[in-house]
Amino acid sequence: MGNGIRSPISFLILLALLFPLTLQISAVNYPINVWPKPTTFSWPKPQIALLSPKFEIHFPSHPYLHRAAKRYRQLLIQEQYHPLVAPPLNLPESPALQSLIITVTDKSAQLTHGVDESYTLVIPSPSQSTEAAISAQTTWGAMRGLETLSQLVYGKPSRVACDLYIYDEPLFPHRGVMLDTSRNFYWVADLLRLIKAMSMNKLNVLHWHITDSQSFPLVLPSEPELAEKGAYGEVMKYSPEDVKKVVEFGMEYGVRIVPEIDMPGHTASWAEAHPDIVACTNMFWWPAGADLSSRIAHEPATGQLNPLASNTYKVVQNIIKDVATMFPDSFFHGGADEVTTNCWKSDKSIQAFLAKNGTLSQLLEMFITSTLPYVISQNRTVVYWEDVLLDANVSVAASLLPQENVILQTWNNGPNNTKKLAQAGYRVIVSSAEFYYLDCGHGGWVGNDSRYNQPPGTDLGKGGSWCGPFKTWQTIYNYDITYGLNEDEAKLVIGGEVALWSEQADPTVMDPRIWPRASAMAETLWSGNRDETGMKRYAEATDRLNEWRNRMVTRGIGAEPIQPLWCIRNPGMCNTVQPYVPN
Amino acid sequence: MGAAIGIPLTFLLILAFFITLSPQISAVSYPINVWPKPTAFSWPQPQITLLSPNFKIHFPLNPYLHQAANRYRKQFIEEHYNPLVVPHLNLTSSPPLKSLTITVTDDSAPLTHGVNESYTLTIPSPEQSTTATLTAETVWGAMRGLETLSQLIFGNPSRVACDLYIHDEPLFHHRGVMLDTSRNFYGVSDLQRLIRALSMNKLNVFHWHITDSQSFPLVLPSEPELAGKGAYGEEMKYSPEDVKRVVEFGMRYGVRVVPEIDMPAHTGSWALAYPDIVTCANMMWWPAGVDWTDHLAAEPGTGQLNPLSPNAYKVAKNVIHDVVSMFPDSYYHGGADEIAPNCWITDPEIQAFVAKNGTLSRLLEIFVDSTLRYIISLNRTVVYWEDVLLDASVNVSPSLLPPENVIFQTWNNGPSNTKKLTEAGYRVIVSSADYYYLDCGHGGWVGNDTRYDQPPGTDIGDGGSWCAPFKTWQTIYNYDITYGLNESAANLVLGGEVALWSEQADSTVLDSRIWPRASAMAEALWSGNRDATGRKRYAEATDRLNEWRNRMVTRGIAAEPIQPLWCIRNPGMCNTVHPFLAS
């Protein structure tokens, strides 16, 4: 594998001129597919060629592209994927594809929000040329192109689709997975496997919900006590070296790591080290005889930072400084969801504050105005959950949340809250619980729940999961994250994230809970969920997703099956042709 | 490890005398627990001692007990389980426990339905003796006792609970897991891991739903074409050697393997080898514009054996013959569920039969009468799904289904059908879909489903899984399989099976779909779901199940988590104290 730069640009331009002017043909059923489906995939006469066992990749010098090219070269030669449905294509006598030439226009472009991820991939007919070409604006776009090429290679000996042209770019710049590592712990190896799978699906953001009330696994040099006392155990911690490994791995795979330190709610675990700064710790989350609205926390494990404790800000600033140092990404997620009024009200100092006509919203404003400028001073854009602006009881005035520095992540009320946030002028990341929460539909997990001890025949409705039912891949695939928005509002939607909250998840189920459902979102946010006639393409996507899921499994990702194997072998026969009629 | 038989009987008798006469204390919370909770567990002064690294097991000669003792001895010494909550017990300076002596009254008792599985385990205080004793009626009971002892050992160096007495026996004889290996395929190692986990939970039946409409993975010497053409692929088959390995593995772990060849419905896969004996093969399962009641199959994959085809009996009898010789268990499951009337009606010959005043029930009777006699002639008790008797449109007269030879497995209508079947005089295995179906609540899996493309805000109810919602471990734990039965009817309930249908499952999710939910049934059917006062003990069981699930994970079974780790560390704090009010 050399490192030289050759210039197949004239050939590329020629091809580009010829192909995109022909009809849009992305709805055509191809014998080999790429997930997510590329924006433009032109393969008028599907044929394949052998891939040379000495296949070479030529690429411009760049440390991360170097590693990606090495990795993909090995995958291209060694994967020898055995498709569930063998493409009905015969190997011609033509020579094998010998090499790939990658050209990058701007090698210095950083992996950051909005970076250009477009690429063009041309694989000529080997009778014309034995050299494929990827051209991209950035190294990150080139990585997307390498992934595409890898999915066009299969079989033993390795075959590759040829005589084709792909131009590809994402619809949305922010395409992520959120993982909660506080309710239950995940090993670094799990996070690396997640990043690897995300990269396969052209997802580019791992939103790492590191800490919460249940545990504080992140070791911070300025606040080592937080993890020492708040982690689940000596081995269940992320050291600065671990974080570095994860961040660096992300760079190699073109995946940003956005850290979240959720506060001021969801901080009970901080109290192990700093009991003085946390209100309502170690209380029973929903006392007997109290209304649901009088809960001390939304779920077991109570505790919220006390905005009136001066030590709070000392600890928080130490954390922000350390986290900003450990995580180079320009986004910092500050949490700020689910402030529980009764938690704060249980605190004596806060009671005194309220007695002097203070409000809980003022308290939250005090916390936000004391921490947000500091985060911004570290050159970070801050992401908060929507609650900070939209919560009915405790919220912050929009004037304190500058639109140029703050992005809001929506999770309630489907498209309604997306619209509210966009109308208020904020950029929005969509994680609607009705569509994008991967933990839903698994029943309740609190103990002593008499719901599950009812007489036979009792209707349990959605089964006790607050966001039930389970979100199928089709539910996720079909959601339009800009639903009901006008054009200006839609532009503020920077993308979406599926989310895995870990009350009922840990490394044993991480892969099947996330995959292939995150793949469904990955395609929708990359090239959309409609064909060129504007029809939703979920029916057509089913067989493609079956095949892609199988390929992920062979690549070591324990993605769950979506259908019996029989279905992809009998195209269309597992469909329903009866439209659903809601009650 | 020798095979000598020590005689600590007098010691045992004395202990048994003292301890069993003391009050029921099984509701006491112990620092170390066994899952399923033993019937009588007396440990008045909890203490631990070291387990000698040279620990020996003396046991009577029996090939399967020999293998089990070997296995457990290694586990006792090498497991070094690290509990989530470390037992608050100090190591005494007393000598380590040096050996276990197993006594078996009847070492020739075969592993069959109703075999005695009781055992008594005594671990003396090491000051008194360094030999533990396990007495059982049968080697299978002795295996249950070995499992119990393994769960009383933890830590590094290995510690063992001592000064205790356990007498244990199951409430129900039949305690199983059903796995469907037709919709998706599982490797032999998956089946063996399943059997191993069954044994850990003192479950004793692996009901293997081998074939269905989607694939026919079982290689039969007399009918090799069935798998030759009907399996998903060359490497997705079970050879006679594979079956032998599974059956033998079951013997070593005290788990019976009950084969199911589902017929006459659910046989679409037979048509690949024998198109002449299958009606309605390869048709669209639910044609456009047709009422649900007129579907050709309950789900995609159409095809039913034609009872009027003489060749159908030739093939079916060859199948039965081979299966009986491959599977030594005295139970043979004949399926017989979900006859789709319209599938038979598509056949001209059947149309002629119906035109001459023949009924579809008569057709099923012809099939059952002919095949049932043959199965009985091979010394098998036949299990059928309840449909054969209770289906509303196609069913068989009880006069053709002798209760001494036929057992029914119920899956519809909760306790109502259990009652109907027992009232008709049949023995019953309970697999109520409302409680025991592990695949429920995962949404729909058919393609092109407009249900998942509704406008935001549409209520899609429980989410499209026919048997939704998801059955939580608590749902399973609390179900009383003899609910609403009088004593003689209850005596006909042999036990229960949780069932994993594999439309949305394969080896990637096998462990996490089954465990620890099957553990919940395992305890309910072994020692019950109530404490000594008759109250349901699901609240108390939660922490025990958290710990047990963790131990299963360390033993290589990827059971899913049921709560954040925080919960077991903070006892009671993850409970709810608010009773559920059904709406």
CB distance B577–A468 less than 8 Å? no
- Of B248, B338, B540, B560, the catalytic one is B338
Question: What pLDDT band is residue B92 in, cutting at 50, 70 and 90?
Answer: confident
Domain A38-166 sits in CATH at: 3.30.379.10
Please name the residues in contact with A553: beta carbons below 8 A apart, sequence gap of 6 or more.
Answer: A559, B508
Nearest neighbour of B582 by CB, restricted to A458, A474, A562: A458
Average pLDDT over residues B472-498: 98
Chain B contacts of A478, Cβ < 8 Å?
452-453
Question: What pLDDT band is residue B21 in, cutting at 50, 70 and 90?
Answer: very low
Average pLDDT over residues B321-350: 98
B459 vs A: CB within 8 A: yes
Which residue is closest to A459 within chain B, CA to CA?
B582
Nearest neighbour of B563 by CB, restricted to A445, A484, A560: A445
CB distance A284–B580 less than 8 Å? no
Residue B30: exposure state from Cβ atoms within 10 A (0-12, 13-18, ≥19): middle
What CATH number does domain A172-443+463-528 carry, 3.20.20.80, 3.40.50.1220, 1.10.287.3510, 3.40.50.1980?
Answer: 3.20.20.80
Chosen for mutation from A183, A284, A449 (greatest number of chain B CBs closer than 10 Å) is A449
Long-range contacts of B189-195 (CB under 8 A, 24+ apart): B190/B507, B190/B510, B191/B246, B191/B249, B192/B245, B192/B246, B192/B249, B193/B510, B193/B511, B193/B556, B193/B557, B194/B510, B194/B514, B195/B246, B195/B249, B195/B250, B195/B253, B195/B255, B195/B257
The string of pLDDT tens digits covering residues B525-577 is: 999 999 999 999 999 999 999 999 999 999 999 999 999 999 999 999 999 99
Vertex B15, ends B10 and B16: CA angle to 5°?
95
Measured distance CA(B494)–CA(B492) in Å, rounded:
6
Question: How much is the pLDDT for A221?
Answer: 98
Measured distance CA(A575)–CA(B2) in Å, rounded:
61
Measured distance CA(A305)–CA(A339) in Å, rounded:
10
Question: How much is the pLDDT for A19?
Answer: 43
Question: How much is the pLDDT for B29?
Answer: 82
Chain A contacts of B288, Cβ < 8 Å?
577-578
CB distance B460–A505 less than 8 Å? no
pLDDT at B26 over 60: no
Within B112-200, strands assigned E span 119-123, 131-136, 153-154, 159-162, 164-168, 174-180
Which 3 state secondary structure label does DSSP give B447?
strand
Which residue is closest to A565 within chain B, CA to CA?
B184
Chosen for mutation from B186, B445, B551 (greatest number of chain A CBs closer than 10 Å) is B445
Query: Strand A164-168 vs strand A119-123: parallel, antiparallel, or unpaired?
Result: antiparallel
Question: How much is the pLDDT for B581?
Answer: 84
Chosen for mutation from B193, B482, B508 (greatest number of chain A CBs closer than 10 Å) is B508
CB distance B538–A448 less than 8 Å? yes
Nearest CA among B476, B431, B512, B429 for reference residue B36: B476
Q: Which domains does chain B have, with CATH numbers?
A: 40-168 (3.30.379.10), 174-444+462-569 (3.20.20.80)
Asked which of A502-506, B5-9, B64-68, B344-348 is least confident by mean pLDDT, the reply is B5-9
Cα Dmax for chain A: 87
Distance from CA of B314 to the nearest CA of A (A): 27
Which residue is closest to A530 within chain B, CA to CA?
B453
Residue B62's H or E segment, with its range, is none
Nearest neighbour of B447 by CB, restricted to A183, A449, A542: A542
Question: How much is the pLDDT for B11?
Answer: 42
pLDDT at B302 over 70: yes
The verdict on whether A404 is a catalytic residue reads no
pLDDT at B382 over 90: yes
Please name the residues in contact with A226: beta carbons below 8 A apart, sequence gap of 6 or more.
Answer: A216, A218, A220, A269, A270, A272, A273, A274, A315, A319
The string of pLDDT tens digits covering residues B427-451 is: 999 999 999 999 999 999 999 999 9
Q: What is the mean pLDDT of chain B?
A: 94
CB distance B463–A580 less than 8 Å? no
Distance from CA of A306 to the nearest CA of B (A): 22
Average pLDDT over residues B219-234: 98
Question: How much is the pLDDT for A28?
Answer: 59
Chain A contacts of B553, Cβ < 8 Å?
508
Please name the residues in contact with B133: beta carbons below 8 A apart, sequence gap of 6 or more.
Answer: B6, B8, B11, B12, B100, B101, B102, B103, B120, B121, B122
Nearest neighbour of A580 by CB, restricted to B288, B450, B456: B450
Which residues face A260 on adjacent strands?
A209, A333
- Of A228, A338, A503, A560, the catalytic one is A338
CB distance A301–B575 less than 8 Å? no
Please name the residues in contact with A358: beta carbons below 8 A apart, sequence gap of 6 or more.
Answer: none
In a structure prediction context, what are the per-residue pLDDT tens digits for chain A, which is 583 residues long? 344 334 444 444 444 444 443 333 344 589 999 999 999 999 999 999 999 999 999 999 999 999 999 999 999 999 999 999 999 999 888 899 999 999 999 999 999 999 999 999 999 999 999 999 999 999 999 999 999 999 999 999 999 999 999 999 999 999 999 999 999 999 999 999 999 999 999 999 999 999 999 999 999 999 999 999 999 999 999 999 999 999 999 999 999 999 999 999 999 999 999 999 999 999 999 999 999 899 999 999 999 999 999 999 999 999 999 999 999 999 999 999 999 999 999 999 999 999 999 999 999 999 999 999 999 999 999 999 999 999 999 999 999 999 999 999 999 999 999 999 999 999 999 999 999 999 999 999 999 999 999 999 998 888 999 999 999 999 999 999 999 999 999 999 999 999 999 999 999 999 999 999 999 999 999 999 999 999 999 999 999 999 999 999 999 999 999 999 999 999 999 999 999 988 6
Alpha carbon of residue A191 to chain centroid? 12
Number of A:B CB contacts under 8 A? 301
The string of pLDDT tens digits covering residues A38-77 is: 999 999 999 999 999 999 999 999 999 999 999 999 999 9
Chosen for mutation from B184, B577, B581 (greatest number of chain A CBs closer than 10 Å) is B577
Distance from CA of B539 to the nearest CA of A (A): 4
A17: which 2 tokens? 């001129």
Question: How much is the pLDDT for B94?
Answer: 87
Q: Percent of chain B having pLDDT more than 90?
A: 92
pLDDT at B20 over 60: no
Question: How much is the pLDDT for A55?
Answer: 98
Residue A144's CB: how many other CB atoms inside 10 A?
A: 25
Question: How much is the pLDDT for B583?
Answer: 65
Question: How much is the pLDDT for B324?
Answer: 98
Domain spans in chain A, listed from the N-terminal domain onward: 38-166, 172-443+463-528, 534-582
Residue A278's H or E segment, with its range, is strand A278-279
Average pLDDT over residues B497-517: 98
Check: CB of residue B546 under 8 Å from CB of residue B84.
Answer: yes
Distance from CA of B505 to the nearest CA of A (A): 6
Q: What is the pTM of this model?
A: 0.95
Nearest neighbour of B575 by CB, restricted to A446, A542, A563: A446
Could you give the ipTM of this predicted complex?
0.94
